[in-house]
Amino acid sequence: MARYLVTGGAGFVGSHAVLALLDRGHEVVVLDNLTQGHRAAVPSAATLVEAELADTRRVAEVFATWRFDAVLHFAALSIVGASMREPLHYIAENVAHSLRLAEAAIKAGCLRFVLSSTAALFGDPDRVPIDEDCRIAPSNPYGDSKRMVEEGLAWAGRIHGLRFATLRYFNAAGSDPAGRAGEDHDPETHLVPLAIDAALGRRPALTIFGDDYATPDGTCIRDYVHVTDLAEAHIAALARLETHGSCRYNVGSGHGASVKEVIAAVERVGGRAVPHAMGPRRAGDPAILVAASDRLRAETGWTPKHGSLDEIVRTAWAWREAHPKGYGDRG
Ligand code: UDP
């Protein structure tokens, strides 16, 4: 049994990673300010510390109270569109909080760190599927903030011996197959929950952001990876860090789906039409983002178990249908 500090453990991907750790009998301390995350998303088996990462004294206290085997760092500002409006805020917050957290971990002698990174590192990629050797060229401040954090960790690795894994998520979607956690953002900007809510009549028609891309049906192609598979990638990365040095992995299902294909999957799985209308392109959307996750598979044995789009939609649908108000903690 090990003990882990999980920042952002009350958020979408973080809460699923907490479940994966608890399911293995590990001890988990969640540090979350609950601005994006939800108290109800933290299982009672975990300890919740409600605190700001900016509160360095409090963070130091957490490291003084518990000895952690590793830190899993999910907490971040993560909306690409918002980062285009407030670039300096995004960069300052994400970079400062992440690197101060790593500094606190190192001071406390905790030299294992797993970072939630992003496919946004690759901007408009020079090739697809996107492997770890593709050009890093973020096209928005959110992606660039994660690039800066990755670079900071690399220095901490060289100078302090920090062993880190950076996991570049593609499109996280779906929910815990046992229904213990789900996706609840405010505002919701992601395609899968928006399409499901439109089908359930809880939102107006979905707007498709452009159908004039160079893809077979003209809509953008993304790699939707089940959030439970993503959570398992963290378990795999932690095991890898025990025996090897730092690593960087792209995490996706390896299959691309267009916006229209996602809508079709929601209609197939839910048995209801998704009202939708065509709209203009959304600024900053690359046409195709699909991961090559071969390195993660080869080096850790990770393999997606809930990889099909229908399984992703089925679990997402079940959670949203059962939780019309999400976690129910918003006005
Ligand atoms: N999308 C869309 N309408 C929406 C939300 C998203 O057409 O209301 C498209 C978006 O342009 C992208 C894909 O769905 O091609 C996935 O978007 P999402 O915001 O879920 O994730 P992102 O790829 O931006 O991380």
Q: Which CATH number fits domain 191-222+254-322: 3.40.50.1000, 3.30.70.360, 3.90.25.10, 3.40.50.2300?
A: 3.90.25.10
Annotated catalytic residue, options 4, 142, 213, 249: 142
Inter-CA distances, 197 with 22, 186, 204, 263, Å: 30, 14, 8, 11
What is the residue with the minimal CA distance to atom 14 of ligand 1?
191
> Of ligand 1's atoms, which has the minimum distance to the CA of residue 289?
23
CB 307 within 8 A of CB 170: no
- At a CB cut-off of 8 Å and minimum separation 6, what does 79 contact? 142, 189
> Of ligand 1's atoms, which has the minimum distance to the CA of residue 219?
15
Query: For the complex shown, is ipTM > 0.95?
Result: yes
pLDDT score of 158: 98
318/311 Cα distance (integer angstroms): 11
Instruction: Name the strand (E) or helix (H) holding 32.
Output: strand 27-32
139/118 Cα distance (integer angstroms): 12
What is the residue with the minimal CA distance to atom 4 of ligand 1?
191
Quote the ligand 1 centre to 220 CA distance (angstroms).
Answer: 8
Quote the ligand 1 centre to 219 CA distance (angstroms).
Answer: 10
Residues contacting ligand 1 via CB (< 6 Å): 80, 171, 189-191, 194, 206-209, 220, 222, 259, 282, 285
Strands (E), 131-182: 163-169, 171-173
- At a CB cut-off of 8 Å and minimum separation 6, what does 122 contact? 130, 134, 135, 136, 137, 138, 143, 168, 289
CB 320 within 8 A of CB 200: yes
Domain with CATH 3.90.25.10 in the chain: 191-222+254-322
Q: Which CATH number fits domain 3-172+225-251: 3.40.50.300, 3.40.50.360, 3.40.50.720, 3.40.50.620?
A: 3.40.50.720
CB 223 within 8 A of CB 192: no
Instruction: Name the strand (E) or helix (H) holding 314.
Output: helix 309-322
Q: If 0-12 CB within 10 Å is exposed, 13-18 middle and 19+ buried, where does residue 295 land?
A: middle
Domain with CATH 3.40.50.720 in the chain: 3-172+225-251
Q: What is the mean pLDDT of each run of 10 residues along the chain (331 residues)?
A: 98 98 98 97 98 98 98 96 94 98 98 97 93 95 97 98 98 98 95 98 96 97 98 98 98 97 98 98 89 97 95 98 90 51
Query: Is-catalytic flag, 142?
Result: yes
Quote the ligand 1 centre to 173 CA distance (angstroms).
Answer: 12
pLDDT score of 283: 82
pLDDT score of 164: 98
